[in-house]
Amino acid sequence: MDALRSSGGPAALVLAALLLALGVGWLVPQTPLIALAAAGAVLLLGLVAVDAALVPLLFLPLLYVTYRVGGGGVDLSVSDLALGLGTIPALVFARRPYSRPMRQILWFTAIYQTSTLFTVIANPYLANGVEWVHAWFLIGGALIYGWAIGRGGHGRTGMLLLLATACVLSLFVVARGLISLAQGTFGPVELGYGMQKNFLGTVLAMTALIAYVRPRWLQLQPHLAAGIFWLLAAAVGFTQSRQAIIALGIVLAILVLRSNTDRRRSKLILLVVIPAAVVVGTLVQEQSKSGNQFNSYFQRLTWFGDAIEIWSTQPLVGVGLRYWYTGRYPAFQPPNAEIEVLASAGLIGLAGFVVLMIGCVYVLWRVPPEYGLLAVLAVLSRFIQGQFDLFWVASQCSIPFVIAGICLGVQALHDDEGGTLLAQDATMDGARHPGATAGAVSS
């Protein structure tokens, strides 16, 4: 495969691009839209021929776009489309072999996919199979997507693109929130186009971790990183997404316990976690005492019971992925990761999900903190958020695993560069001191 990528791969890409270019010329006067799509394919093939990481890098900002596109029975988000278009070239042409942590996590994704295959077979409908593939792209595909960027030497650029995109969204959120305050109202801020409060809160909270952890290879100035973090944190507050606030507070607390640093993280934790916990606790307490059976607190309790009742009809394999779109069951989405998987894929699927999440956190926790700390916090943040809402959601699920993939790719790149430098030093020492090379290399 490496030989294919280094020799035959580029030649095949050039040939494919040439054929597509000829096709574009023939299609332009007849079907302009198809010609435009083919022209885009030519451009993407050209980018892949230059660098396999450029296509995933190009689509990174689109991972934050939930607007739905499609036609002719096809309906998917811009985020899903960007993830697919970036993952395919990364899967074929990205640098390999994968590092040991990367391989281990991919095996955990395979275990989960195998566990949910039972419900796909037992409940044969189109959306079930489509969602089975989609779920792998959201985690396994996202990891490979991020790996291609990090291993290709664009890890810093990729992280900065994620931060820049989140900052743009945050500016809109904060501006709208301030306008609402000036008008005497303080409701959750949403931006339309599918960007509701929980989407904005969760993706901005996860991206804020990049600025807060600020690994050395990111080369981000401390004051700039702090400014970005507080901008994103303020936007999370304006969304009033409780799941995002809780997750951000917990992972920051874990960060303080995990890392030994002189950056006075404990004071920052006091400024973030305590007020956030007070606000969230007050809101939940008010809802529980209100007696309003239709608020989010009581509605979640109702959905928990309904989901368990649905699961009880097929305990082992569940009733199918995205079953609430089939019309056979009430059209509500279980607001909890484990209950969602239990009802959809049964006890077998839940066992696979537990193995997946525990395995990912365990592997990333053991990676050196310079690379693994940001990765494990991003993934853990998504798992915590999933305790209060649907788990398998585009962007909210893919972005943390893209972050993890970038971190693992950067680690592999640095390890490879370090090994190359050590080998060069050993060769030079051997030239200066004959007979010393073999010992240096073997050691």
∠ at Cα 280 (277, 282), nearest 5°?
105
Reading the chain (443 residues) residue by residue, the pLDDT tens digits are: 444 444 445 555 555 555 545 544 444 454 454 444 545 555 565 566 567 788 899 899 999 998 887 654 456 889 999 999 899 889 888 888 999 999 999 999 999 999 999 999 999 999 999 999 999 999 999 999 999 999 999 999 999 999 999 999 999 999 999 999 999 888 899 998 778 999 999 999 999 999 999 999 999 999 999 999 999 999 999 998 988 988 998 898 888 777 655 455 555 665 666 666 666 666 655 555 556 555 565 577 787 888 999 999 999 999 999 999 888 888 788 889 999 999 999 999 999 999 999 999 999 999 999 999 999 999 999 999 998 888 888 889 999 999 999 999 999 999 988 744 344 444 444 444 444 333 332 22
3-state secondary structure the chain: CHHHHHHHHHHHHHHHHHHHHHHHHHHCCCCHHHHHHHHHHHHHHHHHHHCCCHHHHHHHHHHHCCCEECCCCCCEEHHHHHHHHHHHHHHHHCCCCCCHHHHHHHHHHHHHHHHHHHHHHHCCCHHHHHHHHHHHHHHHHHHHHHHHHHHHHHHHHHHHHHHHHHHHHHHHHHHHHHHHHHCCCCCCCCCECCECHHHHHHHHHHHHHHHHHCCHHHCCCHHHHHHHHHHHHHHHHHHCCHHHHHHHHHHHHHHHHHCCCCCCHHHHHHHHHHHHHHHHHHHHHHHHHHCCCCCHHHHHHHHHHHHHHHHCCCCCCCCCCCHHHCCCCCCCCCCCHHHHHHHHHHHHHHHHHHHHHHHHHHHHHHCCHHHHHHHHHHHHHHHHHCCCCCCCCCCCCHHHHHHHHHHHHHHHHHHHHHHHHHHHHHHHHHHHCCCCHHHHHHC
Give me the sign of the Cα torsion angle 250, 251, 255, 258: positive
Task: Write down the pLDDT at residue 16.
Answer: 54
The pairing of beta strand 76-77 with beta strand 68-69: antiparallel
Query: For 300-317, b where at least 16 C-beta lie within 10 A, e where not — what string?
Result: beebeebbeebbeebeeb
What pLDDT was estimated at residue 94?
Answer: 83
Q: How much is the pLDDT for 430?
A: 45
Q: With contact defined as beta carbons under 8 Å apart, do 198 and 160 qualify?
A: no
pLDDT at 24: 44
From residue 288, how far is each of 244, 296, 301 by CA, in Å? 20, 9, 11
For residue 138, the cross-strand partners are none
Amino acid at site 30? Q
Q: Exposure string (b/e) for 319-328, b if CB count within 10 Å is 16 or more?
A: bbbbbbeeee
Residue holding tokens 């332009």?
A: 28
Residues 6+ apart with CB under 8 A from 68: 75, 76, 77, 78, 194
Domain residue ranges of the chain, discontinuous segments joined by +: 1-50, 51-442
Radius of gyration in angstroms for the set of CA atoms belonging to the chain, rounded to a whole number? 24
Query: Cβ(131)–Cβ(322) under 8 Å?
Result: yes
**What is the predicted pLDDT for the residue at 436?**
37
* Cβ 272 vs Cβ 233: under 8 Å: yes
Give the per-residue pLDDT at 50.
Answer: 62
Question: Tell me, what's the pLDDT at 437?
Answer: 32
CA dihedral 188, 192, 195, 201 (to 10 degrees): -20
Specify the pTM: 0.83
